[in-house]
Copies of this chain bind each other. A is one copy, B any other.
Amino acid sequence: MRTKLPDARLSPRFSGYVTFGRYPRLQDVEPGSLPVDWSIYGVPYDSGVTFRPGSRFGPRAIRDASQYLKRYHLEHEIDLCETFSLADAGDTPVRPFSPVEMMETARVFAEGLGDRERTKLLALGGDHSIAYANIMATWKRRGSPKGGLAVIHFDSHLDTVPEVWGEKYSHASPFIRAIEDGAIDPNRMISIGIKGPLNSKHDLDFAREQGVTIFTHDQWRVEGDAFARAFVRRLEGREAYVSFDIDCVDPVFAPGTGTPCPGGFTSDEVLVLIRALAGLNVVGADVVEVLPDRDHADVTAMLAAHVAFEIMCLDAVRPKVEAMNEARDGR
């Protein structure tokens, strides 16, 4: 087992120190499991919100809910903990009163985690502004490739507002910032689950002009997961980042979030949709906008934990998918 888990005969899932998925803390990983494949870390920051704050408690809630997360993926037939060495790297330092400094602080923290070549970053939010920091850290760790990373973005909102109340680093703007910085390739970015109503008919203009593929929830209803599958194929193995805003699911499936919008995915639909991305060359990810004070029975946090698991499983299943593709293509 590459990831060492607690012995369930001694320490049931309702017992013991809480880390994401009961994975070891990064500092506790045994030498034989180094380097770590994925570092999961929290960004307990919500000063970037425009409506309902509280997602600073998101990382803690997701970790708690992840205690019941198991390791074998039934559909992919992959054991994540056998495949990868996983670790919980704790939380970034926090600067609640300065968005721009917070971005830098989080990025620097994330850049230094684990093995620069090998370890991939999965950030747990916090509000969506923190995606910018994790994208920048991921991009830099990959060598700041020209053209930037491909992005699979799940959300009700595009998050490409130039600025809000004069602030450039709010949760409405992570992608516009990352595009400006060259860390994202808008032509290889897809935003999935976008829903109305909108503030105005111009809300989508920037993303469209930049070449971002907008796959609204309405389109998904008609075209289904095939569109996402096709998008992955078009990426031809390019390095991709997955940004998952929990508000892409319906408010009933994610009551614990800050800017809910009725009419989204069910949990089942979105988990299946993520699985449909199999083959994606995922090199970094975030799961954001979990707001525990509005949650009940932990359904939002539990879903977030499973989404994080599914995203890492995309990475784990990739060799298998490629082998199948090669077999199919007669290579």
Q: Which residues of B contact A200 (CB under 8 A)?
A: 71-72, 79
Counting chain A residues whose Cβ lies within 8 A of the other chain, the interface size class is 35 or more
A85 in contact (CB, < 8 A): no
A68 in contact (CB, < 8 A): yes
Q: Which residues of B contact A52 (CB under 8 A)?
A: 14, 54, 57, 293
Considering only residues 172-214 of chain A, those with a C-beta below 8 Å from chain B are 194-201, 203
A263 in contact (CB, < 8 A): yes
Query: In the complex, what's the smallest C-beta–C-beta distance from A165 to chain B, in angstroms?
Result: 5
Chain A interfacial positions (CB closer than 8 Å to B): 8-19, 25, 42, 44, 46-47, 49-54, 56-57, 59-60, 63-64, 68-75, 77, 79-80, 88, 90-99, 164-167, 170, 194-201, 203, 216-218, 221, 250-253, 255-256, 259-260, 262-264, 266-268, 271-272, 293-297, 299, 302-303, 306, 309
Decide: B15 and A44 in contact? CB cutoff 8 A: yes
Q: A70-B197, A266-B266 are in contact. Are A90 and B296 (CB under 8 A)?
A: no
Q: A165-B97, A263-B267 are in contact. Are A91 and B15 (CB under 8 A)?
A: yes
Decide: B74 and A12 in contact? CB cutoff 8 A: no
Decide: B50 and A96 in contact? CB cutoff 8 A: yes
Decide: B51 and A54 in contact? CB cutoff 8 A: no
CB nearest to A255 among chain B residues: B297
28 A–B contacts from the bound complex (CB under 8 Å): A11-B93, A12-B51, A12-B94, A12-B96, A13-B51, A14-B94, A15-B93, A17-B25, A17-B88, A52-B54, A53-B53, A69-B197, A70-B196, A70-B197, A72-B199, A74-B194, A97-B167, A98-B165, A197-B306, A221-B268, A250-B268, A251-B267, A252-B252, A255-B297, A256-B297, A262-B299, A263-B271, A296-B296
**6 other A-B residue contacts (CB within 8 Å) besides A8-B199, A218-B272, A260-B297:** A17-B19, A51-B68, A53-B54, A73-B197, A262-B299, A263-B271
6 A-B pairs closest in CB distance: A74-B196, A255-B297, A53-B53, A70-B197, A97-B167, A10-B93
Q: Which residues of B contact A95 (CB under 8 A)?
A: 165-166
Decide: B165 and A9 in contact? CB cutoff 8 A: yes
CB nearest to A95 among chain B residues: B165
B11, B53, B77, B260: the one within 8 Å of A46 (CB): B53
CB nearest to A293 among chain B residues: B293
The answer for the CA separation of A281 and B263 in the assembled complex, in Å, is 24
The answer for the CA separation of A257 and B107 in the assembled complex, in Å, is 32
Query: In the complex, what's the smallest C-beta–C-beta distance from A275 to chain B, in angstroms?
Result: 9
B14, B80, B91, B221: the one within 8 Å of A11 (CB): B91
CB nearest to A63 among chain B residues: B18
Q: Which residues of B contact A51 (CB under 8 A)?
A: 12-14, 68
B92, B97, B252: the one within 8 Å of A267 (CB): B252
The answer for the CA separation of A73 and B10 in the assembled complex, in Å, is 36
Q: Which residues of B contact A201 (CB under 8 A)?
A: 72, 77, 79
Query: In the complex, what's the smallest C-beta–C-beta distance from A174 to chain B, in angstroms?
Result: 15
